[in-house]
Amino acid sequence: MLALGAAAIHAAEPPEPKVERIVLEDDANRIEELKVRGQTQKVTVQPKNSKAPAYEIVMGDGSRELSAGPGSNRGTVGQRVWRVLSF
């Protein structure tokens, strides 16, 4: 009986989310995309052959305010952000 109870507990645990890391690369850029449960969470762009730093595109997932001004609606277009400090 204990074995059946333990199996039922493990069956009730939620499954781990599907995580995908996609890398697209060409002569000018390297793009890394992180998807969790099929939704894009993070996009990082690293320019090649340039002194420009890598930047991240903040996704419009509803958890952040992306408006550029009063009354503006950016949807899921995203904004570029550069990391200044890293710990």
Phi, psi of 86, deg, nearest 5: -135, 135
Residue 33 pLDDT: 95
Q: Of the CATH numbers 3.30.160, 2.20.130, 2.40.128, 3.40.50, which one belongs to the domain with range 16-81?
A: 2.20.130
Tokens 């074995």, located at residue: 3
- For 20-62, how does the pLDDT look when each residue is reduced to its tens digit (9 = 90+)? 999 999 999 999 999 999 998 889 999 998 888 999 987 765 5
- Does this model's pTM top 0.75? My answer is no
Domain ranges of the chain: 16-81
43: number of Cβ within 10 Å: 19
